[in-house]
Amino acid sequence: MADRVDSILRDYFSGRLELRIKQREETIRYDSQEVDENIGGGRTQNKHTRPVDDLMIRIESDPVLRQLNKQKEDIERWVATFEKPKRDVVAYYYASKSVTWVKVAQQFHISERTAMAWRVEVKHILGAVL
């Protein structure tokens, strides 16, 4: 029953999104795909040797990494606009798969229906953004 927004929120609040970003950066950083640009004979001329610049260009132009960073920034921007109780309830619920609505209600001293309504409100707003 989990949809795309649930999955993204669970990844964000559990820390998996940040881990995926770091893993992607490390994959790009240590991926040794040396390309032989010398097709044919002769000496290479005008060949630049700027490995740090090349690495930064690869990191900044990677479409997967850019998409993950955009997701993270969008979530951070919109979650910051919610009231603190709503933010706390949603963060607590999505931080672990073992958390139930009963636990959320007991933790924050609200009814289960209120907690679910807050989650639906947050998902509705973030679903339009993401």
Tally of domains in the chain? 1
d(CA 70, CA 19): 15
Residue 107's Cβ-side half-sphere holds a number of Cα atoms within 13 Å equal to: 15
42 lies in some domain: no
Position 24 scores a pLDDT of 93
Based on C-alpha coordinates, what's the Rg of the chain? 22
Query: Does the residue 16 lie in any domain?
Result: yes
Find out whether 68 and 24 touch, Cβ atoms under 8 Å: yes
Structure tokens at 23: 């893993």
Kindly tell me the sign of the dihedral angle through the C-alpha atoms of 29, 33, 35, 36. positive
Flag whether 45 is in a domain.
no
38 lies in some domain = no
Residue indicated by tokens 């850019």: 66
Q: Is 26 part of a structural domain of the chain?
A: yes
pTM of the model: 0.78
Question: Is 41 a domain residue?
Answer: no
Residue span of the structural domain in which 99 resides: 4-31+51-129
Residue 40: its pLDDT value, please?
A: 64
pLDDT along the chain (130 residues), means of 10: 82 95 92 64 67 85 94 92 93 93 95 95 87
pLDDT the model gives residue 110: 95
